[in-house]
Amino acid sequence: MTPTVSTDWSSGDGGDSGTVTQVSSAEARGTSWPSGDVLTSSDQTSIDTSTSSAESCWHYSASAKRGISVYYRAVWQHTYWCAKNTTPHTITYRRTRTSFSTGDWCGMTYVSHYKLDGGVGYDYLDVHSEAGFDCSTVWPFSLHSVCKLNVHYDWSYAYWTHRECSA
């Protein structure tokens, strides 16, 4: 049986596109994260550890999700980043966390994220996050699923460029 990939985001499957929120440099470089899900993987990188009024900072969270009730599964990507206020708007700091959430019959088998392109020292950043899930059924087999999410970050905006969850 070939797994299907959800591309109809109007059906309730899909994800949250989120909103870019400007934050202080101290918040971006802090240690707290938005609550409500399980921390599984995080990293950070910086070319300048001092805070500066010559930079602006933002936070963005997006998700890819599928399923309802006991079969619900989602992967979340949370990123704080800072960039110079002058052209070129070079990214000076970034920290990303990937987290997940599941329904009662599903469990996470793995979670990861990695930088696809750009990052600190560049004027853009692309990050990939994914999580694998194993869901119990009433039949003598389980369902295996993967949710993936790619997000593009720029000076003051972010948006997902790809998201999918296999059935």
Round to whole Å and give the CA distance between 100 and 147.
10
- Predicted local confidence at residue 15, as pLDDT: 61
The per-residue pLDDT of the chain, averaged, comes to 80
Structural domain count of the chain: 1
* Per-residue pLDDT tens over the stretch 41-85: 455 565 554 545 688 999 999 999 999 889 999 999 999 999 998
Per the CB < 8 A criterion, the answer to whether 69 and 101 are in contact is: no
Residue 91 in any domain: the answer is yes
Residue 150 in any domain: the answer is yes
Residue 11 in any domain: the answer is no
pTM of the predicted model as reported, rounded to 2 decimal places:
0.79
Q: What percent of the chain has pLDDT over 70?
A: 76
Print the domain residue range for 142. 16-165
* Per-residue pLDDT tens over the stretch 93-128: 999 999 999 999 999 999 999 999 998 889 999 999
Per the CB < 8 A criterion, the answer to whether 158 and 20 are in contact is: yes
Please tell me what DSSP assigns to residue 37.
S
Residue 6 in any domain: the answer is no
Residue 9 in any domain: the answer is no
Neighbour-count burial of 42, counting CB atoms closer than 10 A to its CB (0-12 exposed, 13-18 middle, 19+ buried):
middle
Residue 37 in any domain: the answer is yes
Residue 69 in any domain: the answer is yes
Residue 155 in any domain: the answer is yes
Round to whole Å and give the CA distance between 9 and 36.
22
